[in-house]
Amino acid sequence: MKNIGLIFGVSLLSAFISISLYKYFETPQEVIIRETSPVVYTNYSDEERREKNVLPKENSKKPSKKTIVHTSLDFTDAAEQVTPAVVNIKAVESKRTSFWGGGAFSSSSGSGVIISPDGFIVTNNHVIEDGDEYEITLNDKREFRAEMIGFDPSTDLALLKVEAENLPYVAFGNSDKIRVGEWVLAVGNPFNLESTVTAGIVSAKGRSINILDDQYSIESFIQTDAAVNPGNSGGALVSTEGKLVGINTAIITQSGRYEGYSFAVPSNLVQKVIRDLKDFGVVQRGMLGVGIDQVDDELAKELGLDAVEGVYLKNVQMGGGAYDAGLEKGDVIISINDVPTRTMPELQEQVARYRPGNTVILEYIRDGKISRADVILKNKSNSTSLVSMQGNDFEMLKDLGFELRELTADEQRRLRVNGIMVKSVYRGSKIERTNMDPGFIITKINEVEINDIESFMAELKNAQDKVMLEGIYENYRGEYYYAFAI
């Protein structure tokens, strides 16, 4: 018995030491997932508020102009207004997405926000990107199938549409007017639990957390401490008046759960993206044609700037809008259309609100002097023309039998290739009969190199009779060729 007791004691001591050493050396891991308020006295009389030091006493000095007196804090009206318009979205994969095919299965789930009574729904791109069929469940348990209108990986937004009328919806608010310290509500519909509502304050604006893996990504998030958990991605961030001021997108956490940092795409940017997806099927991205960097203390001293803020131009692309307007390497942009651009995210958000062909007024510093310039924004091809992926373009790809997407910045770096990726292949289609698999990266069409879907569609429309696609697969050596008639 003594030996058994000794063995048990040694084992227990060893376990305790092991756990202690693990805890001592373990480094918390920060994970980004896409996807407590101060006491305020309410319903007191003036005398009770004075006793609780909420209001000054009769003989006390007058409060300063910065004194803020809270009288009530009630989120019920906003919550009742918004929750019926926040839906659950289930993305289901039904087309062939691998060599081995396979049946339909649920691939992702999240939240969405109805933004019009006729059934337009905005959500995050990462909520729907792995699916090709979309099941919508309203707060009142009604179910709909949704159509994909368009998506934008660079802002992590997507637009769906259900066939219905007189749906509850959330009206857009002005995210520019949201101030740090202001109360907001986060409303989601995760895992069909019906709408969940949490509250917090705006912690910061113009935040970039480097989660969008797209070469043209726009990150200028509203940061809040409203509790947002996985499943709430794509839900609504609303003001206390019940206006939509953001789409909840991500959290930063070490535990995998909410820890106080959540991020939302501002509503003013959301509105522009949604308008483009409705009108064209793709986002019209206006560009300055510059390479940018943040102004730090060392650079501010070197350039003789009065403040450590602004966006430094490290290069200006020949033929771009900024080049045509006379901007040069070394200039520091401090505002766009009189809106201060203290940081890179602020500048990117402002430019992202405009389309190619729009003119913006830049204010910049050169050699210590402030100047202004009118800049005509251009697209990726350095022209002011708009592109469309609606109507004939969508039907053309659908008739051929595949879906395409552009490569992410990481894929371009890793594979050292330009092109577009085949996202899925329709069963029984012309493309399937070529034996092409999803994941094929198209680098050439009829021996013409392509960089994006726009250039691919232009060459596809110019093809006379037969089409030859050339490209690669990430995990297989060599080049592959697929031919078909149109």
Residue tagged 């001592």 (tokens)? 24
Q: Which residues make beta-bridge pairs with 106? A: 92
Residue 266 and residue 361 in contact, taking contact as beta carbons nearer than 8 Å: no
C-alpha pair distances (Å), 384 with each of 14, 276, 286, 296, 359: 70, 15, 8, 33, 11
Q: Rounded to whole angstroms, how far apart are CA atoms 404 and 469?
A: 13
8 A C-beta contact, residue 157 and residue 129: no
Q: CA angle, 60 as apex, 59 and 65 as ends, to 5°? A: 135
> Of these residues, 126, 195, 217, 429, which one is catalytic?
126
Active site residue 156: yes
Is 73 in contact with 39 (CB distance < 8 Å)? no
Contact 439, 471 (CB under 8 A): no
- Which of 111, 208, 217, 233 does the annotation list as catalytic? 233
> Burial letters for 293-311: b for 16+ Cβ neighbours within 10 Å, e otherwise?
ebbeeeebeebebeeebbb
Please say if 70 is a catalytic residue.
Answer: no
Active site residue 233: yes
Could you give the dihedral angle defined by the CA atoms of residues 419, 279, 396 and 287, in that order, rounded to the nearest 10 degrees?
Answer: -20
The residue annotated as part of the active site, out of 156, 225, 276, 393, is 156
Q: How many CA atoms lie within 13 A of 55 on its CB side?
A: 14
- The catalytic site residues sit at 126, 156, 233
